[in-house]
Structure formats: structure tokens, C-alpha cells
Structure 1
Amino acid sequence: MTHKRSLVRRSVRSSAAVVAAGAAALVLAACGGDDGDSAGSAGHGGHTATASASASASPSASAPASQGQHNAADVAFAQGMIPHHRQAVVMADLAPGRAQSAEVKKLAADIKKAQDPEIRTLSGWLSSWGEEVPAEGAMDHSMHGMGGMGGMMTDAEMSELENASGKAFDTAFMEMMIKHHEGAVEMAKTEQADGAYGPATKMAGEIVTSQSAEIEQMNQLLGKD
């Protein structure tokens, strides 16, 4: 009997241990579930917060692409400088076959090398802003729309330059280009003062610096005649 009672007690203890272990496992599982839910909730909440942050950051992030953080002065600068540069390039293209002075030929080549890429950059800005890019051949008309400002050459002056050669071309080219550059410098200074788009005001500063130096160079060359 004693032996049987001992077996029964051990059996009861074993059963109790199994039950306790099972209960502990259930508790742990429940806790784990809670933790998982908490982690899931935290993760979801974190994701939501991140998504929310991204959503709130999205407008400012997309602003440079859609709005470009530009203003009316930036648009006017780009739309005015494109035809202005185009005319300078046309003038520069006349130099290789007409100029006598090697210095004038180099100056013309430098002008074209600097202004061709700027035309492409300015056009890209206008396109990204949803603004009109001045059409090819609209040089004089565009500038006339701005009150004839900018030092643009008239059709008569362009014809004069096209028909000149040798030293006469050199003189006419430099005199006209000085006037042309002075107009560009004034336009660039206006952009520096009124523009809001960083790359545009930076380009304006470069135009002021480079074209002011070329004006000085041309004045010196004219003074040698």
C-alpha cells in the first residue's frame, strides 16, 4: 500500500509539473504574442510615422523639381538670356571666316564655348519650371518684348557685321560685342539682385565676371588700333 501511495503521489506530482509547465508555456506564448503584437504595432507605428514623415517631407523634396524654388525674375533672366546668348553665338560664328586678328578669333571661340552650354542649361531650367523656352530665331522679337533692352544687335547691325571682313570686321565685332556684353552684364546683375533660384544667380555672377573681363579685353584691343 505504501508503495502504491508513493506511486500515486509521484504521479500526481508529475501531472502537476506537466500542468505547471504547460501553463508556463501558455503564459510565455501569450507574453510572446503580446510582445510580437507590440513589436508589430511598434513596427507598424514606426512605419506609419516614417511614411508620415516621408509624406510631409515629400512636398519640399519635390519642390525643387516641380517649382524649382524660382521666381518671376529667374524666368525673365532665362527667357531673356537665351536669345541674347544665341545672338552672341551667331556673331562669334562669323569670326573664323572674316576676322583678321588672331585675338578676335580666339575671343569669338571663347564666347561660343562659354555661352552654348549656358543656353542648354537655361533651356533646361525653363522646361523643368513649365515655362516657355524662346524659339530659335526669335532673338530680336524676344528682346523687343523686353523694351529693346539687353544690348541686342538690330538686323541692320547684324548685316553690317556679316558683310565686313578683315580689320573692319574685327573693329565692328568688338564694338558690337562690347555693347552686347554690357547688356548681358546688366541683365545678370538684375538676376543677382532679384532672382531666387540659386543656380541661376550663380550663373549670373559668372556672366558678370567673365563678360566684364572680355569687355576690358576688347576695349584694350580697340585702343591699340
Structure 2
Amino acid sequence: MRNTRTPNTRALTGRAAMVAAFVTAALVLAACGNDDSSTGQAGGHSSASSSASADATAGAHNAQDVSFAQGMIPHHQQALEMAELAADRASSDQVKDLASRIEGAQGPEIKTLSGWLTSWGEDVPTTSGSAAESMPGMDHSAGSAMPGMMDGSDMDELEKASGADFDAMFLTMMIDHHKGAVDMAAAEKNKGEYGPATSMADGIVTTQTAEIAEMNKLLGKN
């Protein structure tokens, strides 16, 4: 005679409850996952919108930005002309080092400024020849109209000098030149709209103000 066991109703009920619990948990997790995905997508759209807004702000420019770029190119170009003379004419290693740093900083900035003007569809001052010839209508006498710019006679005197005389003349002239650049950069910081340009202006103010102090020290003025 076969011994037949009666199913344990209580055990079956427990298993069914457990399965139901697992199913419910899985559905809840899936729902949470979908919610997270949706939230992530929404967050992604928000981030993209913020990025687009930032790009739009950085891309906007005004007349001050154009003026800054067009003026700073010939200003930097003259600083490079002065700095290039130091290699053969300066007697002080400190002056030579300063001139090298000026070339290293302002040469790349000229390329950046030119790129901005090109992208804006504005005239780009030429960088060949003297700085006084880089803007239409600008001659040696007009060069001094820009803040800190040397005129033709100043540049001629510097080119003829050598040794300690060159050092003193170079430092004196470059201090004035830097002060002019700082003034131009300060105007850009206050009135400019293009983010990269105002950032460059801020860097010019910081770097050239420090170099002015350095040059005054070399001249024994502080």
C-alpha cells in the first residue's frame, strides 16, 4: 500500500508569497531604473543646454573686443621688435632673459588675436615689417598715439644702442610700453564681452604689471 503525502499547504503558500515578493521587487527595481534613466537623460539635456549657453556667451563679442585685438597686435609686435634687439645688444643676462620671456608670451598671443579677428570677419593688422606699419594709416609718428607705443626716433635710438646703454634704454622704454598694454587690457576687462579676450586681458595685466616691477628693480627704482 503506497504511502501518499499530503502537500503542506502552509509551505506552498510561503513559497508563493516569496515568489510574489521577488516579482514585486524586480518590478520596483526596473521602474526605478527607468526613472533613473529618464532623470539621467533629463540631466544630460540640462548639461547640454548649460554648455551651449556657455559657448554662446564665450562666442559673443562687441566693438571693444575688436578694438582690443586690432590694437594689441601692433602693440605686441613692437614689443617683439624691441625684445629681439636684446639678444645682440644687451649686456645684462637679466635683460636678455626678460626679453626672451616677452617674446615667448606675446608671439603666441598675436596669433590668437589674429585668429579671433579672422573668425569675426574683421581686418587683421599685418605682423610683417615694423609695428608702425601694421595698421592702415599708421606711420612712425602715429605709432606713439597708442598707449606706450614708441615712435620711429625711439626705435632708431634703441637699435643704435648697445651694452649698458641699451639695457637702460630698453628697460625704460619697455616699462612705458607695458604700462600702455596694461591700460589697454584694463579697458578690455571692463568693457569687453568675448570671454577668451577678457581672460587674455586679465593675464596681460597680471604678467606685465609684475614685469614692470621687475624692470624698475633692475633700474634701481625699487
Q: What is the TM-score of this pair, normalised by structure 1? A: 0.68
1:139 CA displacement? 2.5
Find the counterpart in structure 2 of residue 39 from structure 1.
none
CA 158–147 in structure 1, closer or farther in 2 if over 3 Å, else same? closer
Query: Where does 1:1-225 land on structure 2 (aligned, <5 Å)?
Result: 68-136=59-127, 137=129, 139-140=131-132, 142=135, 148-223=145-220
Question: How many aligned residue pairs are there?
Answer: 165
Task: Read off the aligned partner of 2:160 and give its amino acid letter.
Answer: N
CA 120–150 in structure 1, closer or farther in 2 if over 3 Å, else same? same
Deviations 1:162-189 (A, max 9, x none): 0000000000000000000000000000
The separation in 1 between residues aligned to 2:130 and 2:123, in whole angstroms, is: 12
The separation in 2 between residues aligned to 1:130 and 1:209, in whole angstroms, is: 29
The separation in 1 between residues aligned to 2:72 and 2:143, in whole angstroms, is: 11
Task: Read off the aligned partner of 1:102 and give its amino acid letter.
Answer: D
CA 133–163 in structure 1, closer or farther in 2 if over 3 Å, else same? same
Find the counterpart in structure 1 of residue 13 from structure 2.
none
Consecutive unaligned residues of structure 2, counting only runs of 5 or more, are: 1-48
The separation in 2 between residues aligned to 1:173 and 1:146, in whole angstroms, is: 17
The separation in 2 between residues aligned to 1:169 and 1:70, in whole angstroms, is: 41
User: 8 Å contact 2:143–2:151 — kept in the other structure?
Assistant: no
Consecutive unaligned residues of structure 1, counting only runs of 5 or more, are: 1-56
Q: What secondary structure, in the 3-state scheme, does the structure 2 residue paired with 1:223 have?
A: coil
Task: Read off the aligned partner of 2:148 and give its amino acid letter.
Answer: G
User: 8 Å contact 1:192–1:204 — kept in the other structure?
Assistant: yes
1:147 CA displacement? 8.1
Moved over 6 A (4+): 143-147
Deviations 1:125-171 (A, max 9, x none): 00000000002336325467798122101010000000000000000
1:210 CA displacement? 0.2
The separation in 2 between residues aligned to 1:147 and 1:105, in whole angstroms, is: 25
1:92 CA displacement? 0.4
The separation in 2 between residues aligned to 1:188 and 1:119, in whole angstroms, is: 14
1:193 CA displacement? 0.3
Task: Read off the aligned partner of 1:177 and give its amino acid letter.
Answer: M
Please tell me whether Structure 1 or Structure 2 has the larger radius of gyration of its CA atoms: 1
Task: Read off the aligned partner of 1:193 and give its amino acid letter.
Answer: N
- Aligned-residue sequence identity (percent) comes to 58
Q: What secondary structure, in the 3-state scheme, does the structure 2 residue paired with 1:70 have?
A: coil
The separation in 2 between residues aligned to 1:166 and 1:221, in whole angstroms, is: 14
Task: Read off the aligned partner of 1:83 and give its amino acid letter.
Answer: P
Find the counterpart in structure 1 of residue 21 from structure 2.
none
CA 215–196 in structure 1, closer or farther in 2 if over 3 Å, else same? same
Deviations 1:32-67 (A, max 9, x none): xxxxxxxxxxxxxxxxxxxxxxxxx9xx78x859x9
Please give the root-mean-square deviation of Cα atoms over the aligned residues, in Å. Answer: 2.5
User: 8 Å contact 1:68–1:129 — kept in the other structure?
Assistant: no
CA 75–111 in structure 1, closer or farther in 2 if over 3 Å, else same? same
User: 8 Å contact 1:151–1:184 — kept in the other structure?
Assistant: yes
Structure with greater proportional helix content: 1
Deviations 1:61-114 (A, max 9, x none): 8x859x930000000000000000000001000001000000000000000000
